[in-house]
Structure 1
Amino acid sequence: MSEKIKYEMEFPIHASPALLYQYISTPSGMQEWYADNVNSRGENFTFIWEGSEEEAILYGKKKGELIRFQWLEDEGTDYYFEMRIQVDEITKDVSIMVTDFAEDDEVEEGKLLWENMISNLKQILGSV
């Protein structure tokens, strides 16, 4: 397996953290913007896009704050993807922080994918 690079992105989003958490942590919420279909059995999540399936394990979560998954193919590594809700203490502005890993030549593609998906999420939340 080749080495993956960690990258982080920040997306300002106009939504309450509680509502946002529902969309990033539940199968019903995630299938509105992240994948065509999302199923979960306990810690195991299956994400389905146009007929292709990827399995991930719920790797960690903090209620109302963050959710972290690890793709099954990355099991035994330090690779994961995480969505964290950040609230500015002073302005109360809400952002979603995405952390992900990709191979060197796939980082730009990964970032574009996240931009598109977060853009879908913002539309659903009416936060454009």
Structure 2
Amino acid sequence: MKEKISMEFSVNTSPKILYPRIKTPGGLSEWFADNVNARENVFTFIWKDSVQKAKLISSKEAKFVRFKWEEDEKFTEDYYFEFKIEIQEISGDTTLIITDFVEPDDKEDAINLWKSQVEKLKQLLGL
């Protein structure tokens, strides 16, 4: 059974600038994967050593995007990965919250990979 992980990253940029980076194939290929293609609601993520497909299952403009890996379709559990944009009430800072489901043995590696990917995103955004 997979374990839910959730990580918050401060990305002080406008949600209107951040949202295309988490929703569009062009935006995702700038930081998340080497290349991303989409046909209707199925996104193909291409990395040097692998190709994975995910279905876009839900989204809301400038708020969040939720995908489900094709390989997780066989599970009855609601496994997904999500990029959520929140504005902190007091500071007004933009936070990117990433939620994913991982095998317990892969948890540390998954967290480190997400941290690395978000660092690429921050560099892209000039942060």
Matching residue of 1:98: 98
Aligned length: 125
Q: Over residues 62-120 of structure 1, what are the superposed CA-to-partner deviations in whole Å (9 max), with x where a residue is unaligned?
A: 11100000000101431000000010122111010000010111011110000000000
Matching residue of 1:89: 89
Matching residue of 1:50: 48
Unaligned runs of 5+ in 1: none
In 1, the alpha carbon distance for the partners of 2:5 and 2:87 equals 20
Q: CA deviation at 1:14?
A: 1.5
With the length of structure 2 as denominator, give the TM-score of the two structures.
Answer: 0.96
Q: 32, 40, 45: which is aligned to 1:34?
A: 32
Q: Per the alignment, in what secondary structure is the counterpart of residue 35 of structure 1?
A: coil
| RMSD (CA atoms) | 0.8
Which structure 1 residue ranges, 4+ long, deviate > 6 Å from structure 2? none
Q: CA deviation at 1:59?
A: 1.0
In 2, the alpha carbon distance for the partners of 1:65 and 1:4 equals 25
Unaligned runs of 5+ in 2: none
Matches within 5 A, 1:112-123: 112-123=112-123
Matching residue of 1:7: 5
Q: Per the alignment, in what secondary structure is the counterpart of residue 60 of structure 1?
A: strand
Matches within 5 A, 1:68-83: 68-77=66-75, 78-83=78-83
In 2, the alpha carbon distance for the partners of 1:94 and 1:61 equals 18
With the length of structure 1 as denominator, give the TM-score of the two structures.
Answer: 0.95
User: Letter of the aligned partner of 1:31 in structure 2?
Assistant: S
Q: Per the alignment, in what secondary structure is the counterpart of residue 105 of structure 2?
A: helix
Q: Per the alignment, in what secondary structure is the counterpart of residue 75 of structure 1?
A: helix
In 1, the alpha carbon distance for the partners of 2:105 and 2:74 equals 22
- Percent identical among aligned pairs is 46
